[in-house]
Structure 1
C-alpha cells in the first residue's frame, strides 16, 4: 500500500513541477539562451613585478576560472586590459589561453596608451599598432554578428600625446564615427556597443575629462537605432551602484565596474572583482551582475527585444 501511495505522490509532484507558470520547473526555466557571453572591463594586467602585478594577474585569472563553468561563447574586455606595456598585453593573452582560452573581443582603453609615461620613444601610433598585432585585429574598431545580434566595438584613438586637452577621455576620429553610423544603421537587430569610456551624463561619474569627447554625436547616432545596449567601463564605479544601469531614448547604458578594483561608495575595494554576464533569448536580453570574489551572481536585468524576428531561431 505504501508503495502505491509513494508512486502516486511522485506522479503528482512531477505534474506540478512541469506546470507552466508554477515558478518551479516550467518551460521558462528549461529554456536555453541563444547566446551567452561575458563582459569584463578594467582588468589592468601588469607584467612588471610589483604588488599590482600580483593583484591584477590573480584577479584576472580567478575571473576567467569563475566564468569557465558558465560556458560563455566569448569574452569581451572593454578597455584597460593592461597598463600599456607590450608585455602586459602579451600576458593577457597568455593568462586567457591558460584559463579557458576564451574567444576574445577587446577594445582599447586609456591605459593602453600609458607606456608613453615610461618610455619617451613611445607614442599613440605605436600603442595602437601593438594592440592590433597582439590581438590580431585589422582595425581598432570592428563589428560582428552572433545569432542575429549585432556587436560593435569602438576604441579611443588618441591620448595626450597629440591633444593634451583629451586627458583620459575617449577621442574618436571622424572616420570612426562615420563608420559607426553606417555600421549601426545597417541592421535593426538588437545591438551591443562597447566603448571603454562612458558617454556624458549616462552612467555614474561621467563628468568632463573622463567620458567621450564626441558624446553628442555618438548619442545622436545611437538614438536612431531601435535598440542599443551600450557598455562602458573606465570609472570603476561598482555595478551595485544604482547609476550603473540606465535606460533612455531606446538606449540601455550599462556600467561594468572593474575586474581589478571596483569603487564602492567612493572607496576602492581591493577585495572585490566584478563584471557582467549576458544571455540572449529570442524575446529578451538578460544582463546579470557577476561577483568573481564570491563566484556568484547578483542582480538580474531583463530587456525585452523589440523585434525578435531578427534573431536566429
Structure 2
C-alpha cells in the first residue's frame, strides 16, 4: 500500500469511529434526559413524605343511608262502643300508618287500649285491627284495661257492685289472650333493635292501695333488669315502653304514676342511648306541655289517639288524634309527633337524639 493510500485509510477509519462515538453519546444523553423527566414528574405529583410528616389517616367509614328501624307508638286508644269517636280516630291512625310514605317495622300500643276492658270493647278493637294489613303489633296494659270490674252485666258503670263478678286476673287473661302472650310484659326486636314493654300488673280489686298507678311485681322487675342487660348493645338505642309516667327523680310513684320508679331509674342508669316512652297524660303536643325530658335516659310523653286533652285535661279539640313516629339511624334517633286526623307532622313535637358512640 502506498503512503498516500494508507493515509486515506486512516482518515476513513477515524471518521467512522467519530460517528460511532457521537451516536453512542446521543443514546446515553437521551436515556438520561428521559429518566430525569420521569423522576421530576413523579416528584411533582406524589411527593415523598418527610420523616416529620404524619401519614394520612383513613377516613371514617360512611354511615349507612336511611333508617335502620322505624315504628309508630299509639297510646291511649280508649276504644269503646260507648264513644264511637274513639273508634273513628283509631281507624284514622291505622289508615295513615298503612298508607304511610315511609317504612313501618312495628306498632306499639302503650296502654289504655280499651276504655273499660270489657269483652265488648275488646271485640271492637279486634274488628278495627283486623280490617288492616299491619306490621307486628305489640302492647302493654294501662289502668283502663282493668276497668271491667266497674261494669255490670248490662254494660253499665256500677261502682256500688264492684267488682261486678270480675277480677284483675280476668283482665290480665283477656289481654294475654288477645295478643297471644304468655305474660303481660314482653319485648320485641326488629332489625337488631329492641323494645321492652312493661305492664301494670294489678289494679284496685287485688290491691286497693294501687289506685290508678302502675304496680310492677318483683318478678317483673327482675325480668326487666335481666332483659335490659341481655338486649342492650353499645352504640345502639334501647327502647322502653310504659303506660303511666314517672314521678319526680328520687321518689317512688303513687296513683297515676309508675310506682317503683327509683328501682326503674336505677336499672337504666348504667346504660347509654336508652329512650323511654309513656302515655296516660293524653296531653296535646301543641298545648305547651313538656313532652321530652332528659335524665340518664331520654324520656318522652306521648299524646293520645282516642282523647287528646288540653292542659286542664279537657277534650277541647275533639277531632285530634296524635301519636309518635320513631326512626333509628346509625348515628341518631328521630322522634316526631303525628296528627292522624289530617296526616300531618306536628312542628312542636320534633326531636333528634344523637347516639353516643362506643369508646374503644
Q: Unpaired segments of 5 or more residues in structure 1?
A: 1-26
User: C-alpha displacement at 1:101, in angstroms?
Assistant: 2.9
Summarize the alignment of residues 56-75 of structure 1 with structure 2, pairs less than 5 Å apart.
Answer: 56-70=86-100, 71-75=103-107
Equivalent-residue separation in structure 2 for 1:222 and 1:239 (angstroms): 26
CA contact (8 A) 2:69 2:193 kept: no
Summarize the alignment of residues 136-285 of structure 1 with structure 2, pairs less than 5 Å apart.
Answer: 136-186=180-230, 187-188=232-233, 189-201=236-248, 208-240=254-286, 241-249=288-296, 251-266=297-312, 267-268=314-315, 269-285=317-333
> Structure 1 residues 207, 128: CA separation in 2 closer, same or farther (over 3 Å shift)?
closer
User: C-alpha displacement at 1:296, in angstroms?
Assistant: 0.4
SS at match of 2:122: helix
Summarize the alignment of residues 75-94 of structure 1 with structure 2, pairs less than 5 Å apart.
Answer: 75-83=107-115, 84-94=117-127
Q: Deviations over 1:168-200 (max 9, x none)?
A: 010000000011011112223411100111111
Matching residue of 1:302: 352
Q: Unpaired segments of 5 or more residues in structure 2?
A: 1-61, 153-163
Equivalent-residue separation in structure 2 for 1:99 and 1:150 (angstroms): 24
Q: TM-score, normalised by structure 1?
A: 0.82
Q: Please say if 1:103 is aligned against 2:133.
A: no
User: C-alpha displacement at 1:76, in angstroms?
Assistant: 0.5
* RMSD of equivalent CA atoms: 2.1
CA contact (8 A) 1:90 1:134 kept: no
Equivalent-residue separation in structure 2 for 1:155 and 1:237 (angstroms): 21
SS at match of 1:271: coil
Matching residue of 1:22: none
Matching residue of 2:149: 116
Please tell me whether Structure 1 or Structure 2 has the larger radius of gyration of its CA atoms: 2
Where does structure 1 differ by over 4 angstroms across 4 or more consecutive aligned residues? none
Q: TM-score, normalised by structure 2?
A: 0.72
User: In the comparison of the two structures, how many residue pairs are matched?
Assistant: 274
Matching residue of 1:290: 338
Equivalent-residue separation in structure 1 for 2:120 and 2:105 (angstroms): 26
Higher strand fraction (1 or 2) = 1
> Structure 1 residues 258, 153: CA separation in 2 closer, same or farther (over 3 Å shift)?
same
